[in-house]
Structure 1
Amino acid sequence: MMGRPLFLILGVAVLLFGWDASAQSSCPVTFTGGEAKTYQTCNNLQTLGATLAYTYVVENGSLDIAFQAAPAASGGWVAWGINPQGIQMIGTQALIAFRSSNGSTVVGTYNVQSKTAALNPSSISLTVTNKSAVYESSSGKITIFASLVLTSNQTSINQVWQVGSSVTNSTPAVHSTASADLSSLGTLDLRSGTSSVSSGISHQTLKNRHGVLTVVSWGILMPIGIMIARYAKTFKAADPAWFYLHAFCQTSGYIIGVSGWGTGLRLGSYSKGVEQTSHRRIGIALFCFATLQIFALFLRPNKNHKFRIYWNIYHHSTGYTVIILSIINIFKGFDILDPEKKWKNAYIGVLIAMGVIAAILEVVTWIIFFQRKSKNSTKPVTEMNGISSIHSHV
């Protein structure tokens, strides 16, 4: 009778502790870089089949690491780094290792400042000592060894890791943009050893959403709304439809733009200590002017009201200010987010198309204006002022 409970207890223990052991077994705690070295904490990173082992001394901020991964192809490279700016690739202070032409494995420091440009060796903001790398022919993996000095009592870091397929003259080629490559970043808790990549994915998604919402709202809907107001009302048949289309574009553009503005604020919280000053200030000014523009819908006096001329000045000046600020800030956003070039080119194409349409409509508007003025100038005064004459006889 005693055997069954004991068997169950042992079975549960095997399941529990056996699961932990299997989780650790795929992440080696001992690497051979000339001599064996054991680390306190070992992690299987979430993507690219990479592992990270490290020993962290919280009192003095010393961090000894051993990062291991297989290059994307023979002759490729592996990289691991820390980004003090946030959970993103741009700004990463990286260690990149690869096999040189003479067969040795080398490791250098690289300051990552672009997603598309080739990387050249450079100094980084972190203090790095004792860096080396080893290639294991049996597995095809490269291991980077290094000692870094962090701020004392630092509890977490933003880590980024990556692999690439080729190296030319010590310059790593741009890596793939597959899902695994784009999500190889996250936060590492140095004390518990917990590594999370979810915030990195949401950060990238948030950047994409911010860019799309901003371009669609401030960069497309708002200008179209202004074009409708300026040119469509020239045609009598378009009245009052032009006004409702104008109001729809402005209101929907504002709602979508505020959503984009909110995602921009959230992006700022991901990169504490890093502030895109001009982009942020223009964004705040843009939001304020756009809000004033929306209030114009509710403050609009009648056409014959004595304050109508002042309302026109206020409405037109804020509208054109919104367009100018939005275009400037969208291009600043392109420089910051650094998306694929096709997206920037697509927006430039949209601006050119709207500019051409506006130029054509501007010419048409002036032609109609002068035709009506010429026609009115040939009419008798009594016919031109028919309404006032009728009123004078009533």
Structure 2
Amino acid sequence: MSRAFLTLILTLGAAITAVHSQVDSCGSDLSTFLPAPFNASDLKCKPIWNSFILRYSQNQENVLSIVLSAAYTSGWVGIGFSNDGMMVGSSAMVGFIGKGGRAHIKQYYLRGQTSSEVIVNEGQLLTTDVAPAVVLYGVNIYLAFQLKFSAPVTQQKLLFAFSSATPNNYHLTEHDDKTSVSFDFSAATSTYPYQLKRNHGALVIFGWGVLLPIGAIIARYCRQWDPLWFYLHVIIQFAGFIFGLAGVVAGISLYNKLHSDVKIHRGLGIFILVLGILQVIAFFLRPDRDSKIRKYWNWYHHWVGRLLLFFAAINIAYGIQVGDAGNSWKVGYGINLSVLLMAVTVLETMLWTKWSKNAAAPPTF
């Protein structure tokens, strides 16, 4: 590692602080801001469309508890229940934040396709005595309500829509976008893969965030242990790559189950994996020490490795944030990163001090 790289890695704190938008996911903890029974841990969860996420549970009395979340800046967000997947004749629950900052949730009957035919406080949905709730938390709005049915709800046509225009006197403007889906409330496949997410995070942190930095530290600061430093460096880096690769495989499996909208995290993960593969290839193509191209190989190998470590640290911190992993993960990785940065700072200072003394020493005869 050089001073230039040390400067880059120290800017990580600034990069992390820029990643504080609370992106909702099925792993988010609702107990901190939603009232009971909408904050129960047994809610099934499934991403639906765009940023829309549907959480639900159904009891033996055919009461369906629903929490719908979506990214929100203004306007309204709604979910409709339809017999045929069409708007006309369906009933919808619509939530929004009024101009005075007050939260609203109302039932609407969609008698026609024009705004004047969307009637507030009418519809065929039977609510319970549990008061519905609308909460704006972070960049997301949450609509929570209960519906009573005469029989268990299984396959149901659902409508999802939103508009950026805030309703005036509960009058809804035309939606900006909409979709219709057939949803199976009885399916057992919507349970959230918590363990797979933990495995993904643990493998990536241990591989990219612990082993690879240790291997790089050994390569730069332990050259006096020749050739032991080289074997330790190779073994640790290969182990780090294997753990990181396993974490990537777990991440792919997690994405196939959730289809979460985490494009930046996925893109950085792919980029880091490519850099890791290039480092492995570079090891097998390493020229001899007396080769004319060895210095170019050294330059390539060192800077690709530094780039990998830098983006791995950023992506781990970003993944902990968007995955809503909790404070224990943030504190744990923060301690790990702090220890590594302090070790690099101390060792780099000692190395430059040694070089300075050697440069200032008088020639020997």
Q: How does 1:45-64 map to 2 (within 5 A)?
A: none
Tell me which of 66, 77, 94 is aligned to 2:37.
77
Q: Where does residue 150 of structure 1 map in the other structure?
A: 158
1:93–1:124 contact (8 Å) kept in structure 2: no
Q: Which one-letter code corresponds to 1:200 in the other structure? A: T
- Deviations 1:310-329, CA, capped at 9 Å, x for gaps: 00111011100101110111
Measured after TM superposition, the shift of residue 268 of structure 1 is 1.4
- Deviations 1:202-260, CA, capped at 9 Å, x for gaps: x2211110000011111111111111111111xx2x11111111111110010111111
Would you tell me which structure has more helix in proportion to its own residues?
Answer: 1
Tell me which of 201, 205, 208 is aligned to 2:198.
208
The separation in 2 between residues aligned to 1:369 and 1:256, in whole angstroms, is 35
Q: How does 1:142-291 map to 2 (within 5 A)?
A: 144-145=147-148, 149-150=157-158, 156-157=183-184, 188=186, 195-196=187-188, 200=191, 203-233=193-223, 236=224, 238-272=225-259, 274-291=260-277
Tell me which of 46, 54, 57 is aligned to 1:93.
54
Q: Where does residue 127 of structure 1 map in the other structure?
A: 80
TM-score by length of 1: 0.53
1:85–1:271 contact (8 Å) kept in structure 2: no
> Using a 3 Å threshold, how does the CA distance of structure 1 residues 320 and 153 change in structure 2: closer, same or farther?
closer
User: Structure 2 regions of 5+ residues with no counterpart?
Assistant: 1-34, 82-90, 92-124, 131-144, 160-178
> Using a 3 Å threshold, how does the CA distance of structure 1 residues 205 and 95 change in structure 2: closer, same or farther?
closer
User: Structure 1 regions of 5+ residues with no counterpart?
Assistant: 1-74, 98-105, 115-121, 136-141, 160-187, 189-194, 381-394
1:93–1:112 contact (8 Å) kept in structure 2: yes
Please state whether the residue corresponding to 1:150 is helix, strand or coil: strand
> Using a 3 Å threshold, how does the CA distance of structure 1 residues 81 and 240 change in structure 2: closer, same or farther?
closer
Tell me which of 330, 334, 337 is aligned to 1:348.
334
| Greater Rg by CA | 1
Measured after TM superposition, the shift of residue 276 of structure 1 is 1.5
Q: Where does residue 378 of structure 1 map in the other structure?
A: 363
- Aligned: 1:334 with 2:329: no
- Deviations 1:2-46, CA, capped at 9 Å, x for gaps: xxxxxxxxxxxxxxxxxxxxxxxxxxxxxxxxxxxxxxxxxxxxx
Q: Where does residue 302 of structure 1 map in the other structure?
A: 288
> Using a 3 Å threshold, how does the CA distance of structure 1 residues 82 and 261 change in structure 2: closer, same or farther?
closer
Between 1 and 2, higher relative CO (CA 8 Å, sep ≥ 6) is seen in 2
Total equivalences in the alignment: 240
Measured after TM superposition, the shift of residue 378 of structure 1 is 1.6
The separation in 2 between residues aligned to 1:221 and 1:241, in whole angstroms, is 17
Please state whether the residue corresponding to 1:133 is helix, strand or coil: coil
Q: Which one-letter code corresponds to 1:145 in the other structure? A: K
TM-score by length of 2: 0.57
Please state whether the residue corresponding to 1:84 is helix, strand or coil: strand
Measured after TM superposition, the shift of residue 374 of structure 1 is 3.3
* Seq. identity, %: 28
Q: Which one-letter code corresponds to 2:80 in the other structure? A: T
1:109–1:124 contact (8 Å) kept in structure 2: no
Q: Which one-letter code corresponds to 1:240 in the other structure? A: P
1:214–1:260 contact (8 Å) kept in structure 2: yes
The separation in 2 between residues aligned to 1:84 and 1:226, in whole angstroms, is 40
The separation in 2 between residues aligned to 1:91 and 1:342, in whole angstroms, is 27
Once superposed, what is the RMSD of the aligned Cα atoms?
3.5
2:64–2:146 contact (8 Å) kept in structure 1: no
- Deviations 1:176-219, CA, capped at 9 Å, x for gaps: xxxxxxxxxxxx3xxxxxx425x736x22111100000111111
